[in-house]
């Protein structure tokens, strides 16, 4: 059984994340979406909100687990017996940082491979921070986030 971990902040999850999740779940027996509980950053959404959004938008995918982790991703992949870390690449500018992370994670857990999936062209510009910025000023989020979570994103971060 091949297990993949797709890690991230998912603050909040976007259509770009959902695209990678859907495609990765087709390739692996089990996909664990692992939400980072980050003690250095204050996220816009709580860990419970971020995980609930992910559960809601992936309810039709059977081989998926939504989980959270703290500390090093390499340690988490060891605990979970994961074979692969999935990362989405949007642009060349993502590459340098992701390359460094992949090498670090392999150094710390030599039994895990990092596989990069290219984002769909429709989602190339998307990021959680773009979504938060648009929502703050009541901009149109359609096409950026799954419909089921759009209103909850506005409710939490829209100004005024
Ligand atoms: O969605 P993000 O914020 O780009 O995700 C980044 C994430 C969670 C994948 C990355 O920050 C991470 O793996 N953090 C855990 C700490 C760690 O293992 N860092 C790499 C070695 S220094």
Please report, in tens digits, the pLDDT of each residue of the chain (160 residues total).
999 999 999 999 999 999 999 999 999 999 999 999 987 779 999 999 999 999 999 999 999 999 999 999 999 999 999 999 999 998 888 889 999 999 999 999 999 999 999 999 998 999 999 999 999 999 999 999 999 999 999 999 986 5
pLDDT confidence of residue 94:
85
**Rounded to 5, what percent of the chain is helix, strand, coil?**
45, 20, 35
Q: Is 72 in the pocket of ligand 1 (CB under 6 A)?
A: yes
Nearest-10 crossing angle of helices 47-57, 147-157: 160
pLDDT confidence of residue 40:
77
The domain containing residue 98 runs over which residues?
Answer: 3-159
Active centre residues (catalytic): 17, 41, 90, 128
Q: Is the pTM of this model over 0.95?
A: yes
Q: Is 7 in the pocket of ligand 1 (CB under 6 A)?
A: yes
Q: Which residues of 84-120 are buried (b: 16+ CB within 10 A; e: fewer)?
A: bbbbbebeeeeeeeeeebbeebeeebeebbbeeeebe
CATH number where 95 lies: 3.40.50.620
pLDDT confidence of residue 130:
96
Could you give the number of structural domains in the chain? 1
pLDDT confidence of residue 97:
94
pLDDT confidence of residue 67:
98
CA 160 to centroid of ligand 1, rounded, Å:
33
């Amino acid at each position: 059984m091949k297990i993949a971990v797709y890690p991230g902040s998912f603050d909040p999850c976007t259509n770009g994340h959902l695209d990678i999740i859907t495609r990765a779940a087709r390739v692996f027996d089990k996909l664990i979406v692992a939400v980072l509980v980050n003690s250095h950053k204050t996220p816009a959404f709580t860990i419970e909100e971020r995980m609930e959004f992910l559960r809601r938008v992936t309810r039709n995918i059977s081989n998926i687990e939504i989980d959270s982790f703290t500390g090093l991703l390499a340690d988490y992949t060891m605990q979970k017996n994961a074979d692969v870390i999935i990362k989405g690449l949007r642009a060349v500018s993502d590459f340098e940082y992701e390359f460094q992370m992949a090498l670090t994670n392999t150094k710390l857990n030599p039994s895990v491979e990092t596989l990069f999936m290219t984002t769909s062209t429709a989602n190339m510009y998307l990021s959680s921070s773009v979504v938060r910025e648009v929502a703050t000023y009541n901009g149109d989020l359609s096409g950026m986030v799954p419909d089921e979570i759009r209103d909850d994103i506005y409710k939490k971060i829209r100004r005024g």
